[in-house]
Amino acid sequence: MNYMEEYKKWCESPEFDEETKKELLAIKNDEKEIEDRFYKELEFGTAGLRGIIGAGTNRMNKYTVGKATQGLANYILEQGTQEKGVAISYDSRKMSKEFALQTALILCANGIKAYLFENLRPVPELSFSVRNLGCTAGVMITASHNPPKYNGYKVYWDDGSQIVSPRDKEIISKVRAVEKYSEIREITKEEAEQKGLLKIVGTEMDDKYLDVLKNLVLNPDIMKEEGKELKVVYTPLHGTGNTIAERLLTELGMKNVYVVPEQKDPDGNFPTVDYPNPEEKKAFKLALELAEKVGADVVLATDPDADRLGIFAKDAKTGKYMEYTGNMSALLIAEYRISQMKEKGILPKNGMFITTIVSSDLAKAIAKYYNLECIEVLTGFKNIGAVMKKAEENQDKKYVFGFEESYGCLIGDYARDKDGISAVMALCEAACYYKSKGKTLWDAMGDIYKKYGYYKEAQVSIYREGASGAQEIKDMMTKMRNTDIEKIGDYKVLTFKDVEQDIVKNMITGEVGKTGLPKSNVLYYELEDNSWCCIRPSGTEPKIKLYMGIKGTTEDDAINRLEKLKEAMLNLVQ
């Protein structure tokens, strides 16, 4: 069925309600919009189901959410784990609460117990809750850091991690097998509660989650003492973060926490930001203004579902607030925590430091220094979670730290997703510790570069909207995949990896081997002089992403080299 036939079906079939039909009839003369809404079905990417809210197969709506949930329910019933139940949380986005309740009731209609949070909660608390409640699965309704018009549906399995291969493919096949929306089972909230299938989760889970986080603090006395003076500005960017963050910091002894008032309350319109993403400097505008006003030492922001953290820290020498990349903030936390664990004699000998292939090579240097095994996985924190699960089952390695360059890390094994809340806590603890030594967080970052070398990284996104854009992105990947590239900018290509084809090619000798990584549409170029590049399509947005990293002799040298490499990559791809 082509997109126009599918559109007509949605406009005419009794399966769809009048509100949906009205929305679709309003675009009857806009073929481009019709095509974009119906040229494909939403698919599970690195972060599950995600799309623009609206009517259509390529949109987030009660029908696509219903189909995904019925497919998940069919899979759970096939596994025979329905008694364990499913934990469900949601963020502040438009329709999040409605989609969460709908998900819970569809599961209940299939005889599956649903643990639904009474109100919005962060992704990491959902991951923790799946494990704490012994659930078979979890669902988080969120589009993470995407623009306001998006929403999404993340599926977790019993280990608290987002679903990975082969389970993701098995669930997707069950979703696709739901051919008619009339197959989606229904039940009322009252009936679900009467049958004991719908359980509402309240603040008792917050208490459990926060207790676990507080026990991960390595220097509680220093945090309590220096926390009397340290000034922190925090913004949840209208999301879930402040359901937990301010309370956590206050209970740990932080006396000067300033939450940006205009962004404190949840709001799916995100009225003060175009893009609620802590990776974007624009998102920090109000937070930085408040920081200047109160003389803050640290400025922190979490995205709407609070799995990502962005940071600015004051440079005492210049008085300016300095921006950290996701690599920088995560590795600052890593160096602080791992050095303190070693000093206290609690760093495991069989410890793992898990990173991704597009994250900073500084991770390898830190892991080597502390005699930890550095394990590289594909992009997506679920792949870090998969390594944690295997180690837990085999009981042969201990998780110490894991992160990805996209502003996410996890400081303990209580969850299986990146945690912006614990990252807020860890950075505040680190700031207190370094303050006790007469240093700022910016001083600490400088010390790391002096110790290990000047590693710098960049990421560039090229957006291509709609069906034609999807084809353009596909063509870009095909062109790069089928071209033997021997040099990128000033650097010779030493090794080329095509992860989708499971090929590693030595560009000097011509020798070909296997990557050993799960199949994924990723191209990776190892360059001379400790440099690298990578290219892949986004799994959640209409864009192709370019990653690159270098190691310079000084900070200025690193910055100059990185800019040249970025320019060379852009010229190569476009």
Q: Which amino acids are annotated catalytic?
A: 144
| 449 within 8 A of 455, measured Cβ to Cβ | yes
| 521 within 8 A of 502, measured Cβ to Cβ | no
Buried (b) or exposed (e) across 314-341, using 16+ Cβ within 10 A?
Answer: bbeeeeebbebbbbbbbbbbbbbbbbbb
- Sort strands 86-90 and 150-157 into parallel, antiparallel or unpaired: unpaired
Q: Which residue has the tokens 């008085």?
A: 319
- Distant-in-sequence, close-in-space partners of 492: CB < 8 Å, separation ≥ 6: 486, 507, 508, 527, 528
CB-neighbour burial class of residue 224 (10 A; exposed 0-12, middle 13-18, buried 19+) = middle
Q: To the nearest 10°, report the CA torsion of 211, 401, 398, 163.
A: 80
Q: What is the DSSP letter of 391?
A: H
Q: Residue 398, Cβ neighbours under 10 Å: how many?
A: 16
Q: What is the DSSP letter of 320?
A: P
If phi over 0 gives left and psi between -120 and 50 gives alpha, with beta otherwise, what is residue 205? Answer: alpha
Q: How many helices (H) does the chain have, and how many strands (E)?
A: 19, 23
> What is the identity of the amino acid at 153?
Y
The two tokens of residue 540 are 């959640």
CB-neighbour burial class of residue 409 (10 A; exposed 0-12, middle 13-18, buried 19+) = buried
| Whole-number Å distance between alpha carbons of 243 and 118 | 12
> What is the identity of the amino acid at 197?
L
Bridge partners of 45, per DSSP, are 48
